[in-house]
Amino acid sequence: TRSPPESTRTSIFVVREAKLTPSRRVQSTLQLVASDMIASDRNADKIEITTTGYGLFNVLLLLAVLPIAWTAVFDTTTGGFILASAEYDFELTFFRKGMFVAFPYIGMTTTAFIWDYITPYISMKILFIFALLGDSILNIVSSGVRSFYIYLLIKFISGIFVGGPLAMVMTYLMEFHSARYKLRFTTWTGFLFAIANIIPAAIAFAILPLDWHIDILGQDYDAWRIYLLICSIPPVVGLVTATMLPESPKYLMATGRSDAALKLLRRMYCMNTRQPADTFPIKALFVRQKTQLARPMLKDSLERMRISLYNTKILLASHLPAFCFVSFLQFGSMLGFHIMRLWVPHLFIIVSNFDEENWTPKERQPTFCELLDPHVTIPGRQYLNSSNFKDRLNAFQWTVYPVIYQNSTVIALSAVIFSFLAGFIMTTKLRKQIIMITALLISVASSFGINWAQSPPYMLTLAAAVIVTTRIAGNIVTTVNVDVIPVPLRDTSINILTTIGNVAAIVGNLIFSALLETECLIAFIGMGCFFSVCLCISLFFPQSVKEPPAKPTEVSTK
């Protein structure tokens, strides 16, 4: 969660109406202001949000931010579904395809750290609007570009928006929820956010196999360009809903707008409890600005950066084994997940274009890597006698079968459901370790076995197993991080783990694509070996940290 810089931090007085006779109400209120009801910033926030309850307001707020959260998933997922369709237009080699799907993550990684130092001065609502406006324009433009390098530039800038403002959606939502509802709300919100992984595959199933050619502004838009246009809908809808979002009470009070904060809290209370506004127990919010002079924005941001670096130093000094444990497993699980989920659709389109007539020897089934050989594909048949066969690879026109994207939809659905259900089982350290070891063991076996599976359906099953199990392993890493890293350093650890996951997506896709072009077998064997190392490390779970007992956050009014 974010907090305003020291120079702009405020003291908040919360005045609640006690259940007294009218003759003593004013006197009691003054006494409360003078003593019991003077709270710290953090406790005051908790008091106010707890009073508003949970109900219709929170549900509508969640529905309003769903397209905003889904935008981030769409921006990093759609590229994997158009690799085959866009191969001819962008002259995509295997390595270029790796760049094609990795560039959004490069944008996310290179600028993610900047946003933490901007949010105290600009509201999340403004950042949402700015990011969604830019992302909507970029997504629409990307559907019409003809240059591979311009497309990469667009996806890089889009990644900047995804890794910054659009990654703050959960933080924004948490500022409207009390501790009583946060755990349950976070669980179901994460599930609804994860559904976004299913939708691009379902849209691809409906659009990409079609032989569409539509003239838009003098340009021919075929199916994959129309697919990108349709996938631009979430940021456009999110832009509309973002303009209607309220500022969070925490931000309003941090900027000295106590009247607006109180009005918002009353509206939340009325919508959630169906009670009249005059029954809201908090009657006034007084914000007293500290007397120290405000420092320049740049100077204060540098101070916040210094504190973050100091926290990182403390984290590495005092909890190095535990942090290395979660970091390595985060890298391994996210590497496998992002490689397979982005490459499986394209790889199985190639497999579905296998030319049995040109396959020898006839007495055995081809391995997975042999199925990916362009010499035994139907589009490559016409170039077999060409002296420059390698130069013709970019001219292949793949036949896109709907069943490929149907399978991708099922895989995405399975990953979402199984990772969600696993969350209800991971209640103890032993269970987390057992599930982690089991997931990594399946990933190891699937990675080693996929090349020698007897038929494409078995190969697809093993590929799906890698996607599902690495997604589950990644979720366990997040929960283990909460267990082994103390609260003061937890935000720093989570930020670093997020960056590590993005770096894994970049490194994994670039290396995997390069190996597919040169040594296909090593790509899968290498992934299996890396999962084996992760499996060995998962046997040594670090000890959980002991947290001090929580201080009460409620202030009595009796």
Which helix (H) or strand (E) covers residue 346, if one does? helix 320-352
Q: Which of 239-243, 381-385, 535-539, 544-548 has the lowest mean pLDDT?
A: 544-548
CA-nearest of 186, 318, 255, 173 to 9 is: 255
- Give CA torsion, residues 302, 304, 305, 307, to 10 deg: 130
- What single-letter amino acid sits at 267? R
Q: What is the DSSP secondary-structure string of 72-134? A: HHHHHHHHHHSHHHHHHHHT--HHHHHHHHHHHHHHHHHHHHHHTTTTTTS-HHHHHHHHHHH
Which overall architecture, per CATH, does domain 35-286 show?
Answer: Up-down Bundle (1.20)
CA angle, corner 489, sides to 484 and 493, nearest 5? 75
- Residue 167 clears pLDDT 50, i.e. is over it: yes
CATH code assigned to 296-544? 1.20.1250.20
Euclidean distance between CA atoms 15 and 185, whole angstroms: 28
Query: Is 296-544 in the same CATH topology as 35-286?
Result: yes
Cis peptide before 5 (omega within 30 of 0): no
pLDDT higher at 98 or 486: 98
Quote the crossing angle between the two packed helices 402-425 and 456-484, to the nearest 10°: 30
Euclidean distance between CA atoms 459 and 30, whole angstroms: 73
In the DSSP assignment, the letter for residue 177 is S
pLDDT in tens, 90-114: 989 999 999 999 999 999 998 877 7
Task: Calculate the alpha carbon distances from 486 to 415, 449, 461, 481, 546 in Å.
Answer: 30, 40, 39, 9, 8
Q: What is the mean pLDDT of residues 130-150?
A: 94
Domain segments of the chain as ranges: 35-286, 296-544
Q: Which of 112-126, 163-177, 476-490, 521-535 has the lowest mean pLDDT?
A: 112-126
**Cβ(144)–Cβ(225) under 8 Å?**
yes
CA angle, corner 471, sides to 470 and 473, nearest 5? 60
Q: pTM of the prediction?
A: 0.85
pLDDT in tens, 7-33: 344 444 455 544 444 444 433 333 333
pLDDT in tens, 256-276: 888 888 899 899 989 988 888
